[in-house]
Structure 1
Amino acid sequence: MPPKPGVIPLGPLRLGDIFGGSFATIGRYGKQLFAIGAAVYGGALAVVVVAAAIAYSAVADPLDRLFALRADEDPRSQDLTAVLVALGLVALLGLVAMVVATAIIYAAVPAVLQEAVLGRPTTFSDIWRRAWSRMPAVFGAVFLTCLIAMIPIVLAWAGFVALIIGLFAMDGGGSAVLAVVGVLGALATAPLGIWLWVKFALAPSVAVFENQGPIASMRRSAQLVRGDWWRIFGITLLASMIAGVASYLIQLPFSLLGMFSGMLGSANLGDDPNPASILVAMSGYVLALMIGQLVGQLVVAIFPPLVTGLLYVDRRIRTENLGPVLAEAAAVPPQYMV
């Protein structure tokens, strides 16, 4: 039997070993993982809240005029433009904050696994320093992977839109061409996007474990995935489904609590509420949803990368005989080296 100094045996991993190791890592290093997740996603949420408050103060007057419009009145173009620009800037800032937070998590999880596989203790500060130092490389790998994989996905969506247009506007050969383009575009590009996503799925782990740059990490991931694409695809998909279900179950009570709080707040509104009173009345609902989303996001952000990181370790054990090296690093006695 291979030695097991940490969360996994240092031999080829079965499905149970990978998921068991992921849950064991959460159990042993949950404080570090969830503390980093809460810090980065809480920080991203705080950035969005502050940006939304600044945006609201900047467009309060146009927003009041829009809320005060009667059904037969048209909004002023200046008011609409100001509100839309403010919303767009807040959304863009929120997207950037979430991407940076996710990149830090994707760097922190392999940093934790480096110690978890060897059974060594670690601290929040150690993981944070390691994750922050590797965040640019992980961000680059994730961004390039998304960019490459999104090209066929965007084409697939364009094909589906063309198909829908063709179905609702059957006026001859033009609609038939649109329908064919839609079907062929979806069939040809969606599988390519999935294939590329799995091909580069191990790139964040490579960037942390091997200190590689974004391009080198993607190239290395493609090398490790070769010959085991379907297994990695299936395990990754299963991990994402488990995380999605867990996130939904976590957010459900927060949503119910928010709905109850929103109903209580709405009952106190007068016959002609202003925007400020509406925001105050719905603040409990929004706060509950934000907390639920934050907790659920922690599960979604942490569990799949843990599984992917262990898949990376498994591939190196299978193809590069990494087990004895890890056993030596964990200071396993020689008689257990097999």
Structure 2
Amino acid sequence: MTDTPGWASPGSAPSSEGREPGASGPADPADRPAPTEPAPQPGPDAQGPGSKWSKEQPPAGQWSAPTGAPSPHQAPPPPPPGPGWNGGQPGGPGQGGYGVPGGGYGGPPPGYGGYGTPGGYPAWGGGWAGPPPAAKPGVIPLRPLGVGEILDGAVSTMRTYWRTVLGIALAVAVVTDTCLVLVQGFFVNDARTSLDSRTATFDDVYRSLRESMIGTGIVTVISAAAVIVATALLTTITSRAVLGRPVSTGEAWREARPQIPRLAGLLLLLGLITVGVIAVGAVPGFLVLLSGGSDIGGSALFALGILGAVLVAVWLAIRYYLAAPALMLERQSVTKSMSRSAKLVRGSWWRVFGIQLLAWLIANIVSAVITIPFALIGAAVGGNGMDDILGTNGGHVGWAFLIIRGIGSLIGTTLTLPISAGVTVLLYIDQRIRREALDLELARAAGVQGYGTGVPGPVPGS
């Protein structure tokens, strides 16, 4: 006989002799003789043989048993629906095994700390909903990020702080595209005309090359300076957006200004490294061609050297891809920021390369979608048709085409520059979260209460 207070309700049939411990419900009709006459009804205070119930019971309505044994003429209730431990599984309520007395472990009792208690995780039998979501004070959740979350965070930063972000990007685009149009109209057109002329002398060729190099140098220097300033400001804005804190252009400038000279030195050094690697790869083939060796062998060696140098340059570019945000956000020197980037990228080179390549493809596709219609309109307005686009009109490009195409390029740069800068910063933050638990510091900086005391959120696929 089993007597388990709380698991059997008053009025249920007592267990017969020889029953297995933990079995619920009355004995089968075949195990007992049929009654010959009706049994007298006991009074309220009567105690039958074998009864274990006390004369003094709690008043009705003050308690209820968690599970009641079914009456002899009532079918056991079905198990509760749901994907929990007991839902639809053997051992659920009303079945032998898990979840009934004597049938195995049915989950922690009420009041047990942790699972199944107020303030804990979902109770046994109620379904497992997974760990709580990560805190998200800003544009990204504070946990390791997936590729889509990095791209979405960059777009969300531009959408949330569009006045500041687009204002900075527009200023950079106006400077760079205006210089490009002017150089194209005043320097490159004359240089192409001189080179394409059948009567061009050596002095004409030298002068056109010199003008082309001067114009290209001017555009490069101005564009580099504008990109450096834009990178510094957008890095600061994105880092604040992660914490959910807005920042104005003036505040971003005051915070980023001390690091701009170092950022310029870093980008200059990375550019020199890239040029140096490609030059070293091209030297052997170039020397073979100068020495009068086989043209085929020299050309093949030159091509292989350039290809190998490009691969090495790409590897170095990804290795130091996170140096700029490390320099800006950690206030590091040029060499320290490069070593920090190498440490963060180590073991994740292909992941960083894939995300950067994806962001580059998206930015160029968006820019092309915007720029190509303007180029077609400019070609139609200029009167030269496809000659302006293909450059088959003697090297000269009309001003109408240059200006209208420049407007399209300005719009494309304004929309894509914040996305590229935002992906770089968010990828840096993601790598630090994965390797250095930066999410704890970010949560404290954002004022998130109690962050880091529970189970972290799931890590999405990369």
**TM-score, L = length of structure 2:** 0.59
Q: Which residue of 2 aligns with 1:328?
A: 444
Q: For 1:322, give the aligned amino acid.
A: L
Specify whether residues 161 and 114 from structure 1 end up closer, same or farther in structure 2 by C-alpha distance, changes over 3 A only: same
Q: For 1:42, give the aligned amino acid.
A: V
Q: For 1:205, give the aligned amino acid.
A: P
Q: Which residue of 1 aligns with 2:142?
A: 10
Unaligned 5+ residue runs, structure 2? 1-132, 386-395, 455-462
Specify whether residues 297 and 318 from structure 1 end up closer, same or farther in structure 2 by C-alpha distance, changes over 3 A only: same
Kept after mapping to 2: 8 A contact 1:162/1:181:
no
Deviation at 1:96, TM superposition (A): 0.5
Kept after mapping to 1: 8 A contact 2:228/2:264:
yes
Question: Which structure's relative contact order is higher, taking Cα pairs within 8 Å and 6+ residues apart?
Answer: 1
Structure having the higher Rg? 2
Deviates more, 1:108-117 or 1:256-265: 256-265
Per-residue CA deviations over 1:248-271 (Å, capped at 9, x if unaligned) read 111112112111211289xxxxxx
Kept after mapping to 2: 8 A contact 1:18/1:310:
yes
Mapped partners of 2:202, 2:308: distance in 1: 42
Mapped partners of 1:241, 1:108: distance in 2: 23
Per-residue CA deviations over 1:143-175 (Å, capped at 9, x if unaligned) read 222221333334556789899x8xxxxx9x724
Q: Supply the RMSD in Å over aligned alpha carbons.
A: 3.5
Which of 124, 148, 154 is the equivalent residue of 2:273? 148
Q: Which residue of 2 aligns with 1:309?
A: 425
Kept after mapping to 1: 8 A contact 2:177/2:409:
no
Specify whether residues 203 and 85 from structure 1 end up closer, same or farther in structure 2 by C-alpha distance, changes over 3 A only: same
- Does 1:107 pair with 2:239? no
Q: For 2:230, give the aligned amino acid.
A: I
Q: How does 1:191-206 map to 2 (within 5 A)?
A: 191-206=311-326
Kept after mapping to 2: 8 A contact 1:200/1:222:
yes
Kept after mapping to 1: 8 A contact 2:382/2:400:
yes
Specify whether residues 158 and 102 from structure 1 end up closer, same or farther in structure 2 by C-alpha distance, changes over 3 A only: farther
- Does 1:128 pair with 2:248? no
Mapped partners of 2:306, 2:186: distance in 1: 42
Q: Which residue of 1 aligns with 2:90?
A: none
Deviation at 1:189, TM superposition (A): 2.6
Mapped partners of 1:125, 1:306: distance in 2: 19
Q: How does 1:227-306 map to 2 (within 5 A)?
A: 227-263=347-383, 282-306=398-422
Task: Tell me the secondary structure at the aligned position of residue 153 of structure 1.
Answer: helix
- Does 1:32 pair with 2:164? yes
Per-residue CA deviations over 1:34-60 (Å, capped at 9, x if unaligned) read 21122133234445667788879xxx9
Mapped partners of 1:111, 1:328: distance in 2: 18
Structure with greater helix share of residues: 1
Mapped partners of 2:275, 2:137: distance in 1: 40
Kept after mapping to 1: 8 A contact 2:440/2:452:
no
Mapped partners of 2:300, 2:175: distance in 1: 47
Q: How does 1:43-122 map to 2 (within 5 A)?
A: 43-47=175-179, 74-75=199-200, 84-122=209-247
Number of residue pairs the alignment of both structures matches = 310
Q: Which residue of 2 aligns with 1:137?
A: 262
Specify whether residues 116 and 215 from structure 1 end up closer, same or farther in structure 2 by C-alpha distance, changes over 3 A only: same
Mapped partners of 1:175, 1:81: distance in 2: 27
Mapped partners of 1:231, 1:51: distance in 2: 38
Kept after mapping to 1: 8 A contact 2:234/2:421:
yes
**TM-score, L = length of structure 1:** 0.78
Specify whether residues 111 and 286 from structure 1 end up closer, same or farther in structure 2 by C-alpha distance, changes over 3 A only: same
Specify whether residues 153 and 83 from structure 1 end up closer, same or farther in structure 2 by C-alpha distance, changes over 3 A only: closer
Per-residue CA deviations over 1:282-301 (Å, capped at 9, x if unaligned) read 32211111112222233443
Unaligned 5+ residue runs, structure 1? 166-170, 266-277
Mapped partners of 1:288, 1:50: distance in 2: 13
